Amino acid sequence: MTDSPSAPAFEVSELVKSYRGITAVNKISFSVARGEIIGFLGPNGAGKSTTMRILTGYIPATSGTVRVCGIPVATRAEEVKRIVGYMPENNPLPEDMRVSEYLYYRGRLKEIPRSRLGPRLDEVLERCDLTRVRHRILGQLSKGNRQRVGIAEAILAEPPVIIMDEPTIGLDPHQILIVRDLIASLRGRMTVIISSHILPEIEMTCDRVLIINRGQLVAQGTPSELRREFLGRTRYLVEYAGDSALLAGSLRLIDPTLQIESPPGEGTGEASRAESPDGFRKVFLTTRQESDQGESIIRILAAQPGIRLRSFTHSHASLEDVFLAATKRSWDIVDSPLPR
């Protein structure tokens, strides 16, 4: 095996995949450094699974190049499969095998020597919280356990890189937490790419995010870089009682770009701003200025006799906002049929 330790985990250049009449992946290029945990995001049909299948050597690309740890996947797919732990979408499992029997069989296929496989299996079952169900039939497992069998299989041979296609789909919050911890425990030892629709999940686990839409890479960066690029704004949540017109007037003096909005679900416009029985209401203040205005805003509001301030918080935009902005921007740009 010629896994070159100095090569990036993934180097993807101008990757294209066309199915008959459909360009599922359209000139995607990116690189992933060793040890990074990458979140792969995109709406349904964006091309995430297709890209992952190509990266793991399971389907060929139409054009473009992919190197995994320096190995070109187009000509050496079998070698790539050996160094990538892959949990495919929907994680198909043979229904009639038992958990440990199945993982043992997969371990042998991955050429883990018999002498090492037993202890490694115990370790992985423990790590994936599967020891209690190791003798159960796969077809009778709960969804959470099935997902964790998929993850166990992906990490079994201790590959340098792991690709998991929606590892937390359909899981309850408790199971999501277990899977999140499991992925976090791989940090520093393996390079991981996971796709997910659960954005807070990605934000908590991943170092960097790639967003694809209609087969094209529309954004990449850390969540905070993406917030800056796509939202270009800072938001504060203010809880106050008093004259709204006075609040608006005094704030616009310090920042003319400041917008005042009601939080979602609390109506819009001056009249409908939700008010609690004691006369306090919450509003978002949004500024496009780069410098932090928080301190000046608090000072101005605290000095207004007609306004009582109860709380003031910096409100972080969610990755959902970035995702919607990034995919909307690309829909706006690509409004003609996709090139073939």
Ligand X SMILES: Nc1ncnc2c1ncn2[C@@H]1O[C@H](COP(=O)(O)OP(=O)(O)OP(=O)(O)O)[C@@H](O)[C@H]1O
Query: In sequence order, what E strands does 109-231 have?
Result: 161-165, 191-195, 208-213, 216-221
- Indicate which of Mg ion, ligand X, none lies near residue 23 (CB less than 5 to 8 Å, by partner kind): none
On whether the CB atoms of residues 317 and 235 are closer than 8 A, the answer is yes
What's the min distance (Å) between Cβ of 142 and Mg ion? 22
Identity of the residue, 89 or 225, whose beta carbon is nearer to Mg ion in the bound complex? 89
225 binds, among Mg ion, ligand X, none (CB under 5 to 8 A by kind): none
* Residue 60 DSSP SS3: coil
Return the one option of Mg ion, ligand X, none that residue 45 interacts with (CB less than 5 to 8 A, by type): ligand X
Give the nearest distance from C-beta 89 to ligand X in angstroms: 6
Binding partner of 50, given ligand X, Mg ion, none, CB within 5-8 angstroms per partner class? ligand X
Residue 49 or 293 having the CB closest to Mg ion:
49
Task: Tell the smallest beta-carbon distance from residue 176 to ligand X (Å).
Answer: 17
Q: Give the residue with the Cβ less far from Mg ion, 84 or 300.
A: 84
Residue 24 binding: pick among ligand X, Mg ion, none (C-beta 5-8 Å cut-off by kind): ligand X
Closer residue to ligand X, CB minimum distance, 35 or 88: 88
Binding interface with ligand X (CB under 6 A): 19, 22, 24, 42, 44-50, 89
CA distance 204 to 317: 14
Q: Quick one: what does residue 229 bind among Mg ion, ligand X, none, with the CB cut-off 5 to 8 Å set by partner type?
A: none
Is 103 within 8 Å of 149 (Cβ atoms)? yes
Longest dimension (CA), the chain: 78
Shortest distance (Å) from residue 48 CB to Mg ion: 5
91 forms part of the interface with Mg ion (CB under 5 A):
no
Least CB distance to Mg ion at residue 144 (A):
20
Helix, coil or strand: residue 242: strand
Instruction: Indicate the residue type of 340.
Output: R
Closest listed residue to residue 87, CA positions, set 146, 31, 174, 171:
146
Dihedral of the CA atoms 287, 290, 291, 294 (nearest 10)? 20
**Crossing angle for the helix pair 319-333 and 223-231, nearest 10 degrees?**
50
The piece of 53-61, 89-97, 145-153, 272-280 that touches Mg ion (CB under 5 A) is 89-97
- Measured between alpha carbons, how far apart are the two ends of the chain, in Å? 36
* C-alpha to C-alpha distances, 171 to 134, 145, 178, 201, 222, nearest whole angstrom: 20, 10, 10, 12, 25
Q: Which token pair is 265?
A: 């679900």
Closest CA relative to residue 238, chosen from 292, 316, 309, 288: 309
User: Segment contacting Mg ion (CB under 5 A): 64-72, 84-92, 175-183, 291-299?
Assistant: 84-92
Q: Which is nearer to ligand X, 23 or 287 (CB)?
A: 23
Question: Considering CB under 5 A, how many residues would be counted as binding Mg ion?
Answer: 3
Given Mg ion, ligand X, none, residue 191, with its beta carbon under 5 to 8 Å by kind, binds none
Count the Cβ atoms, other than its own, within 10 Å of residue 170.
Answer: 12
Residue 49 as a binder of Mg ion (CB under 5 A): the answer is yes
The distance of closest approach from Cβ of residue 48 to ligand X in the complex, given in angstroms and rounded to an integer, is 3
Q: Is 237 within 8 Å of 282 (Cβ atoms)?
A: yes
Using CB under 5 A as the criterion, which residues of the chain lie in contact with Mg ion when the complex forms?
48-49, 89
